[in-house]
Amino acid sequence: MAFLEFDRRLRRIERKHRRMSNGRVAVVDDNGLITYRARRRAPRLPLRGLFLLAMGLLAFKGLVLTHLGAETYDTRIEALKSGTVVEQAGAWLMQADPVTVWISENGWSRIF
């Protein structure tokens, strides 16, 4: 029985140590005792990376729309819409939106 309690306490201490290895915060209790608690970190969202990915996708779509022309582009998107689930997702992602059409119509000289 004593070994089970010891194992539980040891696991609890190891878990607390793993949490505190990522950082800790000193907290003063009501009675003035300073204790340390693990710093809670929310997963960070790489906003800059997501923005650059979206800009790259829009530029790619504009380039493809310029190269193929509107009719051929729409025909290929319609062909993707009747395909598998992955192809349908690709069709939704690659459909011509106003920004893509603007990039295609105004040419690359205004953008770069």
Please state the domain extents for the chain: 2-38, 47-106
Structural element, H or E, at residue 27: strand 24-28
How many CA atoms, within 13 angstroms, populate the side-chain half-sphere of residue 62? 20
CA neighbours within 13 Å on the CB side: how many for 73?
19
Query: What pLDDT score was predicted for residue 108?
Result: 59
pLDDT at 112 over 70: no
Report the C-alpha gap between 24 and 105 in whole angstroms: 54
What pLDDT is recorded for position 110?
59
- 34 beta partners: 28
- pLDDT digit string, tens, across residues 53-110: 999 999 999 999 999 999 999 999 999 999 999 999 999 999 999 999 998 888 655 5
Identity of the residue numbered 44: R
Q: How far is CA 78 from CA 81, 82, 103, in A?
A: 5, 7, 21
- 33: its two tokens: 């005792």
Determine the pLDDT at residue 29. Answer: 86
